[in-house]
Structure 1
């Protein structure tokens, strides 16, 4: 092959075929002249390619024993199909037959007809996905074919695709946001690219320093939007709740008005389908939602409303507050369109800046390069596992089973949580097992296929739990974990933060997938062999540490908390942590080698030195709490910092005053100051009305308002009362309710605060935190300062 400006030309035929390096934007499977045709849009350094893959066939599998029954049913359908006995088998060792279709219509009809009569396998995998999966294509590709230039893109027919793992695309983004009435009637659309900021607004032209395209009605707005997207020609459209809301509303209005939303790269219309989730397909482009991407990158916030995230991430506020926002948008559309245009545009800019600052597209790209899932496909841990595991399984001679075919249905235990020893400690060391569950999978060869093969050769298998046995050599998941661990290490070395985070999330999801009844590979012998091994490892580690003469005061899933003598200096604590880490790792290496003849990949790390450290009791009891503690560490700048776990200060359903009080009273406790004085100061602030704006509760509705009938929590009562009184509308499942506690009960917070029940806040937000402190006098607050509070 010759290399000419990065494009490869293959010799030896009448037509030289260029080979392009790129990244898949979108994928489709369609009928073309009665046959299945796969279409892949690919972003390359030389432009965008539309690649057609022909002569592919859809497939599902049946057990060979069911062939005659299947033929009887399929022949009645008069559809074109072919059967092929394969060198594949089911997990129960039954041979299987592939049922192939060159037409999508026949494939779907056959699925429906056979599904109720016999077991069919892997019928839910779209062939556009299977084609990539079986070739280990995860985003990056080499593509070749017979080319022809089209307007704005290159078309390749008879295309062939091959994995290209090292290609990283540079996407052209467009942030967009719609403004509309409560009924979805469109007012305007904002568009922000790296070089332009545009608002398309319905109304008569007005003088403005903004770039506004004035249109006369919704039809003109939709048609203008199509033209602008075509002109700006983005690879990726980004937004906030953009798939479930903006795209869905645009699609509904376009259908209602008879307009084709022709925003695909080839002029094709946007397609929106709704099921368990909304799916948007724009040929040649991708729609990526900011909320989904942030959640999948494991960002945690009190709420994912754009106003809150913009404030937290960018330090910026929206032009309109959340209170009566819809009413204000409607008012601005009718009375102040320029203000609405500014608001619309600012939302687009905020989304653009959040994506840029948090590198969200880089995360989405890294995730696709690891799993092969579409860029816009968020969530999908089960789908990611299937993408990675299924082609390996096929090459080992197996097809995937259907859900629950093994008939086992017992629950696996959760992570090991040790009883805690509550109290205030001067020095506590925390030792963490690095990626404990993935390390167990790797060390003990836990694997779906390995479980089947281990059952075939039990004498040489690794004994798991609940009668699970695992092959020492025939498995894939341990090798996959090893590859991910190596890739994560390399990403750390290269400073690739988003890739490192994506790998971490995928590795940590493996146990959850195997324990999910929605995964075709779910088997409780797999999940229990991971968690119960984790219990064994944690208990053994505790015993070893105690045999060395140290006290273990708590343990949680993969962390062990070790008390160290008060007189130890920080340097001595650090050295002891390293010593314990080295000793425990050596013991695990020795134990796995001698007892199981296995190589240990368990690795415990000295993670943290807390000084001091406080483990509270369960409220109202003497028993130590679990998953709740606070400790002081020295940060990178050498300053003391408090780390809270599970306490009120990190919980969204406690008021701001409770969080600030807990921070202050723990600081006083650690600094040996008067906790009563701190407590009284906060009580005085509450009673005097100085902190009314910090007495607001926030809690989400877990279900529709009307579903709350018997047990009605305070936030639901506040929402119901406000709705019935006509003060608010549109509250439903997922809505965050801000409310205060008045003398007449919970009231929805609308900006005005009056008639607050201060006694409630003292009893429910201050005293419970005070009472968890060690060695406190319950009556001290009432007596201190010669005051008497009616508590």
Structure 2
């Protein structure tokens, strides 16, 4: 019989001494099923080796077969022995044994996870529809089980169609009287949820007994049986905390589709077998426009929930609201709004993540947690297999710096009516145009081939003009696929769900193509080649400088340039630049945006611009730094807004000065919440591994002395208090502060608020003396030196 199903999750198990691939999916009738393939076996490659290779390896683990095969490595033919093992667990043993044999010059593809190997070789695609010839085999757990006669075949034309997915968003709150909660001691007090059937609510503990609460949560998940579980920082907090808390209480957190518990897996994510567990924080980390990555700010950015319309409670004060019967309803509402916000974010981000999973080949369960490099690499693995290329091994290698993109020195000031010209997919276009690839690179001393070479400007690296390299081939394929998807979009209703999914698919294809350059310069990459990455930026610098020269020859005012963008005083003849670039370099350049006003400091990659719709773009200022308190970040954001939205410089100066003076006066009178003064830093090492005493380390040691459990990975919140000379020894954990007047308000005024404000306001002539009465006021440059 034939079935079609949408692949949600994939794993394997060893049954009766043989591996079986298990594909969890949803069939066209909406039934949750598992499709099993027992035909596939694990393998790897060996280059060279002794004549008695089989005998030597068989002494370590059973061998299914040995086969001599021809493959390519960096485009050059290579003869390899394909070693097929009985079970995946034997590959590591055989790899280690082979590496130690005389005559073995290399071992390849011995570190590929078995279910990923299966998808690469068979063409099975995660988060996509497939058709398969199967026979029924009863049930596996609660799921109907099918055995395939051959690997399933993707139905690529259904890329814009999704099954009816059951989605759950959840959030937990933990009693945290002593700061960072400890699962060995501190109970889970609330679990809030919202699901795709329209249900939302909060589950609560019985006082501080969280056993009934955890049991209710497990029962709810089993009953609802979600396909996708959404959280925000759930891989970093909720799941590890729940798992450890349940273990401490002797409870079973059996919520996966085989009756098992969540397990930490690759990329630091937590796997829930048969379901896709997605931590949306992983993907928000990649959104540069969101400066502070909290859930409330992410939800506001995506239009899910405004911050001024929801309850906001500082995390370290959760226990106070739980203990206070009058304030507990606010805490319950706060938690529910977290779950609702997470669900709303999921509605915005899930279509993209599904397409990113399908394009990269990484299961939906893992794709958000995977790095950009990992996503690119799995895409390349699929193309390499089809091209007969063996994947290079990862190597330990030192970082090799190279000159990056060109960034012009900005002219400090405020400019109006500034157009931003953006080179569309500049780096992929350069790679394809000049055939830049690890397998086309010519080592120094190698003769030029008959077909000729491309020579990168400045750096002089040479690349064969033909044949087309592996990376340019992949990019050409991605560009072609994207063109096809965009063509399909023209034939359907722009308001349809299918259009939305196809739009996300073309975006995923574009993002993967644009990430290819960075991948080749990443020292952890299999296809790493510094000379390729260096040549890409060399060509980009040459092109950008040429375009700047042309623009100035036209009489245009070039205000700033960065990597693949030019900021030019708006003028109708900008169209001539677009024509020039298209004709000379065959690279698309377009008018990306026009700023009504834009502010530059003297520093590169630091600017803020006001768009026509009232939104403000901010690049490179303190709002993205972790060593500033929340109040300093808020001040800088507000100063930017005052300046950009004022009618003229005089009004801007007046508004900023009055605003900052008010903040300073409030600080002096202690009209401030301690939460706004806390500085947060993470311990990235154990306490005894630090060589230098830092403020957050000193604060951590004070916590430890006070009886708190302090550990690597813990986020330390501290304030600066009065007394002492060195700032390091003035750091004190906020939870040990008994009186707000312990805090050194002068430090916050002089080292946080004024510098944060002056980095922006200095551009319009504001000086330190405008904020406080003091002789010899400092200028912007004093704070930047």
Q: Above 0.5 in TM-score? A: yes
Instruction: Give secondary structure in 1 for the equivalent of 2:116.
Output: helix
For the structure 1 residues 575 and 690, does the alpha-carbon distance in structure 2 shift closer, same or farther, using more than 3 Å as the test?
A: same
Q: Which moved more, 1:363-372 or 1:113-122?
A: 113-122
Q: How does 1:435-584 map to 2 (within 5 A)?
A: 435-451=425-441, 458-465=449-456, 467-475=461-469, 476-483=473-480, 485-486=482-483, 489=486, 494=494, 496=500, 498-562=504-568, 564=569, 573-584=570-581
Cα deviations by residue, 1:758-779 (Å, 9 ceiling, x for unpaired): 5862576436755874684969
Instruction: Give secondary structure in 2 for the equivalent of 1:403.
Output: coil
For the structure 1 residues 31 and 336, does the alpha-carbon distance in structure 2 shift closer, same or farther, using more than 3 Å as the test?
A: farther
Cα deviations by residue, 1:382-440 (Å, 9 ceiling, x for unpaired): 332233222322333321111349x8974332222123344555664432211211221
For the structure 1 residues 474 and 54, does the alpha-carbon distance in structure 2 shift closer, same or farther, using more than 3 Å as the test?
A: same
Report deviation, 1:523.
1.1
Larger radius of gyration: 1
Asked whether the 8 Å contact 1:135–1:163 carries over to 2, the reply is no
CA distance in structure 2 between the aligned counterparts of 1:775 and 1:288, rounded to whole angstroms: 45
For the structure 1 residues 369 and 779, does the alpha-carbon distance in structure 2 shift closer, same or farther, using more than 3 Å as the test?
A: closer
For the structure 1 residues 743 and 610, does the alpha-carbon distance in structure 2 shift closer, same or farther, using more than 3 Å as the test?
A: farther
Report deviation, 1:273.
3.7
Instruction: Give secondary structure in 2 for the equivalent of 1:447.
Output: coil
Asked whether the 8 Å contact 1:173–1:234 carries over to 2, the reply is yes
2:361 to 369, 372, 397: 372
1:295 to 251, 274, 285: 285
For the structure 1 residues 314 and 75, does the alpha-carbon distance in structure 2 shift closer, same or farther, using more than 3 Å as the test?
A: same
Computed over aligned residues only, the root mean square deviation of the Cα atoms, in angstroms, reads 4.2
CA distance in structure 2 between the aligned counterparts of 1:579 and 1:523, rounded to whole angstroms: 36
For the structure 1 residues 780 and 391, does the alpha-carbon distance in structure 2 shift closer, same or farther, using more than 3 Å as the test?
A: closer
For the structure 1 residues 643 and 395, does the alpha-carbon distance in structure 2 shift closer, same or farther, using more than 3 Å as the test?
A: closer
Asked whether the 8 Å contact 2:24–2:35 carries over to 1, the reply is yes
For the structure 1 residues 39 and 77, does the alpha-carbon distance in structure 2 shift closer, same or farther, using more than 3 Å as the test?
A: same
Cα deviations by residue, 1:83-107 (Å, 9 ceiling, x for unpaired): 1111313335331121112323433
Q: Tell me the equivalent position of 1:700.
A: 681
Instruction: Give secondary structure in 1 for the equivalent of 2:168.
Output: strand
For the structure 1 residues 469 and 753, does the alpha-carbon distance in structure 2 shift closer, same or farther, using more than 3 Å as the test?
A: same
Q: Tell me the equivalent position of 1:595.
A: none
CA distance in structure 2 between the aligned counterparts of 1:61 and 1:586, rounded to whole angstroms: 46
Contiguous gaps of at least 5 residues in structure 2: 176-181, 725-729, 778-785
Q: Tell me the equivalent position of 2:256.
A: 264
2:634 to 645, 653, 656: 656
Q: Tell me the equivalent position of 1:673.
A: 650
Cα deviations by residue, 1:486-536 (Å, 9 ceiling, x for unpaired): 267458865635445433432332112111111111111221121111111
Q: Does 1:102 align with 2:86?
A: yes
Q: Tell me the equivalent position of 2:782.
A: none
CA distance in structure 1 between the aligned counterparts of 2:314 and 2:72, rounded to whole angstroms: 60
2:715 to 730, 735, 741: 735
Q: Tell me the equivalent position of 1:362.
A: 351
Q: Tell me the equivalent position of 1:248.
A: 240
Q: Tell me the equivalent position of 1:348.
A: 339
CA distance in structure 2 between the aligned counterparts of 1:432 and 1:369, rounded to whole angstroms: 28
Instruction: Give secondary structure in 2 for the equivalent of 1:458.
Output: coil
Q: Tell me the equivalent position of 1:10.
A: none
CA distance in structure 2 between the aligned counterparts of 1:164 and 1:662, rounded to whole angstroms: 50
Q: Tell me the equivalent position of 1:86.
A: 69
Cα deviations by residue, 1:637-688 (Å, 9 ceiling, x for unpaired): xx7x6544334567663442343234334555x6142565445424542443
CA distance in structure 2 between the aligned counterparts of 1:642 and 1:584, rounded to whole angstroms: 29
Asked whether the 8 Å contact 2:680–2:718 carries over to 1, the reply is yes
For the structure 1 residues 158 and 522, does the alpha-carbon distance in structure 2 shift closer, same or farther, using more than 3 Å as the test?
A: same
Q: Does 1:176 align with 2:161?
A: no
Report deviation, 1:27.
1.1
Instruction: Give secondary structure in 2 for the equivalent of 1:77.
Output: coil
Q: Tell me the equivalent position of 2:381.
A: 390
For the structure 1 residues 393 and 355, does the alpha-carbon distance in structure 2 shift closer, same or farther, using more than 3 Å as the test?
A: closer
Instruction: Give secondary structure in 2 for the equivalent of 1:688.
Output: helix
Instruction: Give secondary structure in 2 for the equivalent of 1:303.
Output: coil
Cα deviations by residue, 1:721-743 (Å, 9 ceiling, x for unpaired): 86368498758646374646767
Q: What is the aligned residue count?
A: 717
Cα deviations by residue, 1:460-495 (Å, 9 ceiling, x for unpaired): 254244534145343322313413542674588656
Q: Which moved more, 1:374-383 or 1:53-62?
A: 374-383
Instruction: Give secondary structure in 2 for the equivalent of 1:420.
Output: coil
CA distance in structure 1 between the aligned counterparts of 2:711 and 2:61, rounded to whole angstroms: 52
CA distance in structure 1 between the aligned counterparts of 2:405 and 2:340, rounded to whole angstroms: 43
CA distance in structure 2 between the aligned counterparts of 1:779 and 1:385, rounded to whole angstroms: 48
Instruction: Give secondary structure in 2 for the equivalent of 1:368.
Output: helix
Asked whether the 8 Å contact 1:655–1:696 carries over to 2, the reply is no
